[in-house]
Structure 1
Amino acid sequence: MAKPIAKPIAKPNAKFKLLDAALLLIRERGYTATTVDELCVAAGVTKGAFFHHFKSKDELGIAAAQHWSATTGAFFADAPYHNLNDPVERLIGYIDFRKDIIEGDIAQFTCLVGTMTQEIYGSNPEIRDACAASILSHAATLEPDIEAAMRDRGVDGDFTPASLAAHTQAVLQGAFILAKATGDGAVARSSVEHLKRYLLLLFEE
């Protein structure tokens, strides 16, 4: 995630091979266009192994959203911005980190759960809810620093730490859509820079 995804969690069994394959293929092709056969080939497992672990492709989709959360959660937990002492600096460090990992092929830096949500939000509530849980649980990791920054800088606006944390994810997901639409990661990096400017103004840095 420098990529929006850490090195996939290494597990020597078919289930985790399939989940790791899903993280790659769905971001490249989309959820609907990715077939069970393609997942099996990419994972190097049989179709029988697929249905041993997952009753359907949709069940894998839910599990893939959860796997994405676990994988990227570990990646962000180890990021260097956590070592900064000031909460505003940590928040800005997070934004800088997100910008820095927007590099390479678009499929490598865009978000699995954002990609799936755009496709299935109206047709598959189970996957949609799993994607929402992933996005919002990541946003929640920013709330303590936002709350501390508001307190330390005396910011008493008509917003909550949760709403501002969610806004950061809205900008990031929108940046990924623009990158896909234009075929250019630079437009995504520009959007993240605007988010950084907004936060600096908000906290008067």
Structure 2
Amino acid sequence: MLAMTFSVRADLAGELSRAAEQRLAHYANEHDWLPYQAGFSPWLPAGASRLPECAQPVRFEPAQAGDAPWGRVPWLIHCPDDPGWTTRARVEVSVHLPVWVARERLRREQELSASVLQLKSLSLERLHRGFIAGRQPPKQRLLRDLPAGEPLYPALLAPRWLVKKNEQVVIEAQGNGFTVTTQGLALTNGSEGELIRVRNIDSEKIIQARVVAGNRVQSLR
């Protein structure tokens, strides 16, 4: 919530734009955005110019605090005087931000790296499925094919497999103060924390085990 003392007959629109700019900057810092370009177009109702002057600091807050700070963002402007007033407003926030896109056609289950991705500045208002930003590319895998030049988005990504089908793994069995290891063969893929089927190479027994690290699983007691 932002507060500032000024006559309501002053430029409320300018103050509203600055509040929206500060909110966007805070979000960008929290999410490790690269430098971006933003524009702010405030709108206030016609009656705003006739509001009584506010003796106390006027407060600006987003009408829906959990919403993204770009696009069409509704705001509330409060005067806490007694009696005070509240008016609705909005700011059209346009943002161009470097986001991660496919450098080439990518395939389902492909593991991502900097060699197959690149940063491209795009308008966030057009990325309705979301986007992936930040200084480092995501170290994840794709859930479906992605054409060259298309942006990544959260629902497209999943954790990398730490264990892959038909690869040898180390099976850990823990007891009271001790750990026994043996060799196994993964029968399914698995990411960290997932349960997979593993064949114990010595006993030929098939067990359920939890993936704990690369090519390493922990048997269930």
- Establish whether TM, by shorter chain, passes 0.5: no
More RCO (CA 8 Å, sep 6+): 1
Structure exhibiting the larger radius of gyration computed from Cα positions: 2
TM-score under structure 2 length normalisation: 0.27
Greater share of helix residues, 1 or 2? 1
